[in-house]
Amino acid sequence: MLRLARKVAPKSRFHRSSVFDAELPPCSAILATGEILNYRFAGARSSSAALRRLFRRIHAALAPGGVFIFDIATPERAPKNEPRIYWKEGPDWGIYASTTSASRDELIRSVTVFRKVGGLYRRSEEVHRLRLYRAEEIARELESCGFHVSVTKSYGRYKIPAGMAVFAAFKA
């Protein structure tokens, strides 16, 4: 991803780091899409306290009037009874994903990717574990850090999948 980003934006600077460890320079906006704040990481990084510390760091980095926009997966994202299956393919690739729920607050997504390399196909597998947050809980945490919060089900006209919430958190 970094190679691709550098190719698309060669004059930009990129750093690889956990969102929980990255140095946040002064800025006007921060964007985090794709339910990245839901991913369970080793140790205390998956805790509500770690998320609160991240929100405080983001608030400190933003200029007055700055905005933090992100989405999260909520408990409604988890399948109720059976695994949710997803399959998509292209001319030289395919993705199969099965989503299950270990509990009301956790989602497990098993992903198998097939991609053509030369004349053969390569297969890779990943397991994604997500902690599911209630939108009200996240809004309260943001407000406790000094943000004014708006919660929606879309990025403008782009509707997000069911069980997701979009946050626009503004620094006064």
DSSP assignment of 81-132: SS-EEEEEEETTEEEEEEEEEEETTEEEEEEEEEEEETTEEEEEEEEEEEE-
CATH 2.20.25.110 location in the chain: 79-130
Identify the pLDDT of residue 117: 93
Predicted local distance difference test score (pLDDT) of residue 87: 96
Whole-angstrom distance, CA of residue 77 vs CA of residue 104: 10
Q: Where in the chain is the domain with CATH 3.40.50.150?
A: 27-75+132-171
State the pLDDT at residue 50: 86
Angle of CA points 19, 23, 25, to nearest 5°: 115
Mean pLDDT over all residues of the chain?
Answer: 92
State the pLDDT at residue 46.
61
- What architecture is domain 27-75+132-171? 3-Layer(aba) Sandwich (3.40)
Architecture per CATH, 79-130 = Single Sheet (2.20)
Percent above pLDDT 90 for the chain: 79
Q: What would the pLDDT profile of 13-68 be if each residue is shown by its tens digit?
A: 888 888 888 889 999 999 999 999 998 865 556 678 889 999 999 999 999 999 99
- Give the N- to C-terminal CA distance of the chain in Å, as an integer: 34
At 84-143, the pLDDT tens digits run 999 999 999 999 999 999 788 899 999 999 999 999 999 999 999 999 999 999 999 999
Q: What is the pLDDT of residue 89?
A: 96
In this prediction, residue 160 carries a pLDDT of 93
Cα–Cα nearest to 166, from 34, 73, 67, 71: 71
- Say what the pTM is: 0.85
The 10s digit of each residue's pLDDT in 154-165 is 999 999 999 999
Res 45: pLDDT: 60
